[in-house]
Amino acid sequence: MPARKKAKQAAAKKTTRRPAKKTTKKAAKTRATTAAGGIGQAPAGFLLVNMIPQSLSGETNQDSEPHLTVNPANPKMIIGTAFSPNPGGGALGPVYKSLDEGATWTVNAIVPSQAGSLIGTGDITTSFNRTGTKLYGGILRAGTGALTFLRTNVPAFPPMTILNPPGRPSADQPFTHATTVASGAGAGQDRVYIGDNDFAAPGGKTQTIDESLNAAVGPPTPFSSVRVEKRTTVGQDGPQCRPVAHPNGTVYGAFYGWRALTGSFPANTLVITSADVVVVRDDNWGAGGFVNLKEPPPPAGDGLAGVRVVRGISFPFMRNGNAATGQQRIGGTISIAVNPNNSKDVFLAWGASATGSFLTIHVRRSTNAGATWSNDLLVIPKATNAALAINSAGVVGILYQQVVGTGVAQRWVTHLQRSGNGGVTWTDLVLATVPATTPVKTFDPYIGDYDHLVAVGAKFYGIFSANNTPNLANFPNGVVYRRNANFATHTLLNVNNVSPVAPSIDPFFFKV
Amino acid sequence: MPTKTNADSEEARFVFKGTVQKLKAATMSEISADQRTAIVRVDEVIHAPEVLSQYAGQNITVIMGGKKKLRKGQQSVFYSNGVLFGDSVAVEAVDYHEIEKMPAAMAAAGADPVKNLAHRDLQRRYDSADVVLSGRVVAVRMPSDVVAAFASSTAADASPIGPISEHNPDWRISEIQVEQVHKGSHKSKTAEIRFPSSTDVMWHEAPKFHTGQEGFFILHKSSRVEKAARSAPTDAGEYVAFDPADYQPFDEADGIRNLVGS
């Protein structure tokens, strides 16, 4: 066989893609009429990519808990993160970087870490500012676990600068959102909001938004800890705190207020028996302490800042995932998104237990800036990792991962549902349906305690982690691999394109 | 003549013999080719993490960190760390020198670069340890703070006594029956080692001890390890183990046995 032909065949083996079907008016009409509960076909422009580059074809890490940010000023530039070690083992942890809108990815070591760390970093989330000149991040640093705020320059991406040296102990799950003031007071200033669960907060009211209203300066960079929990807790709140800002300076936050619990975390029997899902709001970039959204006085409410969208819900807070939960530990899920065209239009998703469901995702909408909320617009059983976003056309999207089946037939199915009519009807796009029993987890969390979805303009961009077996049946709307893989034999291959590599958990990027 | 490596070189995770193919060039479009960059063929990998262990024969980009100049065709030992991985690989060289000046220990390294790196890491862990023991785990128990948490959580009106986080280390204390002391001073016939039993991402790499386990224990005093001391101000255990190298089984073919001289 001529060498050229041989090389062409080898290339076909390692990168297999089923192209997205072209959208026709007829097809679009069909989808619209079958949207409620129907499985959508991938529209034109849909792309799903395994983010591991070719040079790391031999890696078998559990690259879970992914997050994503898209440069609003240049959507071709995207940064992804996950529990990935530095492949080279140096003193910096990696980010995944794309400069071609997600078609190809490099792994770039720029995150302060610890040499030789097998995890690269603890929890990590990043966000570009609105002008796309800076990348911000919040991490739990490998080695120390310290809550650490980061910044680097774009597009050079030198190693990230620590904005709060040496970091802060006893906090959890930093969730980063950054933007830039477009006009008026503070124009040009970067505003950074990092939601976290700060165990050092007084009185057990641990829900915190660490904010900087001028984050491009320093270090020292001015950060302040805003305690957004105003009610009595069981001693602490849950780990999730999700901030999101509208360009007009309205900033929302959503979290679980823990009110009662039973069982034992070390024994993996802990259940949060009563929690509130709370939404807070600040109308001046967070400068007012997130007290602009208050409940009415008794008896209708308690008059405190932060509206309790639901009260008294229950869910497990697991130390370890198990067979029933697809190896993933369960501990709640929360996401909030604001319509870029209307700061009063907000969608909220959260998880709570239900009969026969370890966690059921609920989606509701507020059209009056969080004061009152709709009934459930979506109810999704046995699911977690809800991530909401709203695009420039007002279409809301929700990414989530759902356990289906039991035993060896059990699968993690990753969905993107979208609604263009305020959540009345939804179109479902299945991104991946992969075995939930393989590979066996090497640590908790198996697929991550969150994934992420963002909207820039009319497009949705997302990231999730899943079993990476190269099998097109697992990716019903197509997938692209850059790492070496043989889709005919469902085998991953090492950098020599010959030696087989065991399946593992990889991050996947998509856009639509 | 073999020489000693400098401190930066000792931190390098990817050490290889290579031949400079092209100056002011790069194998990746994301790297701006300039006087600091060169395309280098990897001739032999000496120390490497797993994913870089099969790069012999391939061209990669080397970014030079110092002021030393390379020349085309030059053969050297490069001490580097990976910085960018895409269709190719870029590494930052913290140092390089002629092959003849490779340190004796490195020149005598085995054929497996992953094992070589692991051995180097083990050596460092050994060197920094307060005590190295061999022996057997005779019991594993909960420290008093964890016991208190359990007691609290079984009460009807349970409330946590401390933070509940998915990243809790969930400390345990293993009691070791000491067979031999290989480094440092330890006079008791038993030793208590605190270790994180959590399988959370932050702690999963730490050794997980169980009763009956035998081997070498490479130990640091709890009082010297901030995160152990902070997590458990009382009942800390005399020593702590959380690095994967801190436990080495008896049946490990070489490595630790070479260090302890047995």
Distance of CA A103 to the CA centre of its chain: 20
Q: Work out whether strand A67-70 and strand A78-81 pair parallel, antiparallel, or are unpaired.
A: antiparallel
- Please state, in angstroms and rounded to a whole number, the distance separating the CA atoms of residues B79 and B15: 5
Q: What would the DSSP string read from start to end of A374-402?
A: -S-SEEESSEEEEEEEE-TTS-EEEEEEE
Contact B83 A90 (CB under 8 A): yes
Q: How confident is the model at residue A165 (pLDDT cuts 50, 70, 90)?
A: very high
Interface subset of B 145-184, CB within 8 angstroms of A: 146, 149-150, 153-154, 158-161, 163-168, 170
Residue A141 pLDDT greater than 80, yes or no? yes
Which residues on chain B are in Cβ contact (under 8 Å) with A104?
86-87
Closest CA to A158 of B32, B218, B75, B226: B32
CB-based burial, A115-153: b 16+ in 10 Å, e otherwise: bbbbbbbbbbbbbbbbbbebbbbbbbbbbbbbbbbbbbe
At residue A6, the pLDDT reads: 44
Residue A4 pLDDT greater than 90, yes or no? no
User: Which residue of B27, B154, B201 to mutate against A (max A Cβ within 10 Å)?
Assistant: B201
Q: Does one domain contain both B133 and B242?
A: yes
Phi-psi region of A509 (alpha: psi -120 to 50; beta: other; left: phi over 0): beta
Q: A172: distance to nearest CA of chain B, Å?
A: 7
Q: A477: distance to nearest CA of chain B, Å?
A: 25
The answer to whether the beta carbons of residues A329 and A318 sit under 8 Å apart is: yes
Select the residue of B28, B84, B201 nearest A119 (Cβ to Cβ): B201
Supply the CATH number for residue A85's domain. Answer: 2.120.10.70
**Domain extent at residue B31:** 7-109
Distance of CA A229 to the CA centre of its chain: 22
Cis peptide bond N-terminal to A445, omega within 30:
yes
Residue B177, CB half-sphere, CA atoms under 13 Å: how many?
9
- Assigned domain for B123 exists: no
Q: Does one domain contain both B99 and B163?
A: no
Q: Does one domain contain both B104 and B135?
A: no
- Assigned domain for A9 exists: no
Q: What is the mean pLDDT of residues A241-270?
A: 96
Q: B42: distance to nearest CA of chain A, Å?
A: 14
Which residues on chain A are in Cβ contact (under 8 Å) with B146?
266
Token digits of residue B39: 């395309």
Interface subset of B 20-79, CB within 8 angstroms of A: 28, 30, 49-55, 58
Closest CA to A60 of A427, A483, A456: A483
Q: The tokens 């490195």 sit on which residue?
A: B106
**Residue B139: other Cβ atoms inside 10 A:** 13
This model of the complex carries an ipTM of: 0.88
Each residue of A171-198: pLDDT tens digit? 999 999 999 999 999 999 999 999 999 9
Which residues on chain B are in Cβ contact (under 8 Å) with A140?
167, 202
**Residue A411: other Cβ atoms inside 10 A:** 19
Supply the CATH number for residue B54's domain. Answer: 2.40.50.120
Where are any strands of DSSP class E within A91-245? 92-98, 106-112, 124-128, 134-140, 147-153, 161-162, 171-180, 190-198, 207-212, 224-227, 241-245
Q: Range with the lowest mean pLDDT among A166-180, A241-255, A277-291, B110-124?
A: B110-124
Output A310 or B254, whichever has higher pLDDT.
A310
Contact A236 B200 (CB under 8 A): no
The answer to whether the beta carbons of residues B233 and B194 sit under 8 Å apart is: no
- Assigned domain for A500 exists: no
- Assigned domain for B122 exists: no
| B215 strand-pairing partners | B135, B249
Q: What is the mean pLDDT of residues A300-304?
A: 97
Contact B160 A235 (CB under 8 A): yes
- Please state, in angstroms and rounded to a whole number, the distance separating the CA atoms of residues A348 and A336: 5
Q: B78: distance to nearest CA of chain A, Å?
A: 14
The answer to whether the beta carbons of residues A277 and A373 sit under 8 Å apart is: no
Cis peptide bond N-terminal to A316, omega within 30:
no
Q: Does one domain contain both B147 and B252?
A: yes
At residue B212, the pLDDT reads: 96
Residue B105, CB half-sphere, CA atoms under 13 Å: how many?
9
SS3 letters for chain B?
CCCCCCHHHHHCCEEEEEEEEEECCCCCCCCCCCCCEEEEEEEEEEECCHHHCCCCCCEEEEEECCCCCCCCCCEEEEEEEEEEECCCEEEEEEEEEEHHHCCHHHHCCCCCHHHHHHHHHHHHHHHHCCEEEEEEEEEEECCHHHHHHHHHHCCCCCCCCCCCCCCCCCEEEEEEEEEEEEECCCCCCEEEEEEECCCECCCCCCCCCCCCCEEEEEEEEHHHCHHHHHHCCCCCCCEECCCHHHEEECCCCCCHHHHHCC
Output A11 or A325, whichever has higher pLDDT.
A325
Tally of domains within chain B: 2
- Assigned domain for A40 exists: no
Contact A319 B198 (CB under 8 A): yes
Q: What is the mean pLDDT of residues A283-288?
A: 98
- Assigned domain for B24 exists: yes
- Assigned domain for B117 exists: no
Q: Which residue of B has its CA nearest to A159?
A: B83
For chain A, the farthest-separated pair of C-alpha atoms sits apart, in whole angstroms, at 82
Which residues on chain A are in Cβ contact (under 8 Å) with B142?
266
Contact B163 A199 (CB under 8 A): yes
- Assigned domain for A38 exists: no
Q: Does one domain contain both B78 and B190?
A: no
Q: Which helix (H) or strand (E) holds A13?
A: helix A3-14
Contact A91 B168 (CB under 8 A): no
| Residue B35, burial from CB neighbour count under 10 angstroms (0-12, 13-18, 19+) | exposed
Q: What is the mean pLDDT of residues A251-255?
A: 98
Each residue of B234-247: pLDDT tens digit? 666 789 998 999 99
Contact A266 B14 (CB under 8 A): no
Q: Does one domain contain both B104 and B76?
A: yes
- Assigned domain for B190 exists: yes
Mean pLDDT across chain A:
92
Q: B27: distance to nearest CA of chain A, Å?
A: 12
At residue A477, the pLDDT reads: 94
Q: What is the mean pLDDT of residues A500-512?
A: 98
Low-confidence residues of chain B: pLDDT under 70: 1-8, 105, 107, 145-146, 148-162, 223-236, 253-254, 262
Q: Does one domain contain both B250 and B141?
A: yes
Q: Which residue of B has its CA nearest to A259?
A: B159
- Please state, in angstroms and rounded to a whole number, the distance separating the CA atoms of residues B18 and B55: 11
- Please state, in angstroms and rounded to a whole number, the distance separating the CA atoms of residues A485 and A503: 11
Select the residue of B80, B167, B227 nearest A172 (Cβ to Cβ): B167
Q: Does B98 touch chain A (CB under 8 A)?
A: no
Q: Does one domain contain both B136 and B250?
A: yes
The answer to whether the beta carbons of residues B44 and B98 sit under 8 Å apart is: no
Which residues on chain A are in Cβ contact (under 8 Å) with B54?
58, 494-496, 499
Q: A372: distance to nearest CA of chain B, Å?
A: 31
Tally of domains within chain A: 1
Q: What is the mean pLDDT of residues A371-378?
A: 98
For the entire predicted model, the pTM comes to 0.91
Q: How confident is the model at residue A19 (pLDDT cuts 50, 70, 90)?
A: very low
Contact A106 B28 (CB under 8 A): yes
- Assigned domain for B118 exists: no
Contact A444 B91 (CB under 8 A): no
Select the residue of A58, A106, A267 nearest B30 (Cβ to Cβ): A106
- Please state, in angstroms and rounded to a whole number, the distance separating the CA atoms of residues A344 and A371: 9
- Please state, in angstroms and rounded to a whole number, the distance separating the CA atoms of residues A449 and A444: 9
Select the residue of B51, B89, B166 nearest A59 (Cβ to Cβ): B51
The answer to whether the beta carbons of residues A113 and A121 sit under 8 Å apart is: yes
- Please state, in angstroms and rounded to a whole number, the distance separating the CA atoms of residues A354 and A178: 35
Each residue of A72-103: pLDDT tens digit? 999 999 999 999 998 887 789 999 999 999 99
- Please state, in angstroms and rounded to a whole number, the distance separating the CA atoms of residues A98 and A69: 11
**Domain extent at residue A283:** 58-449
Cα–Cα distance list, B98 to B18, B75, B76, B101 (Å):
10, 7, 5, 5
Closest CA to B101 of B201, B215, B17: B17
Q: Which residue of A has its CA nearest to B9?
A: A90
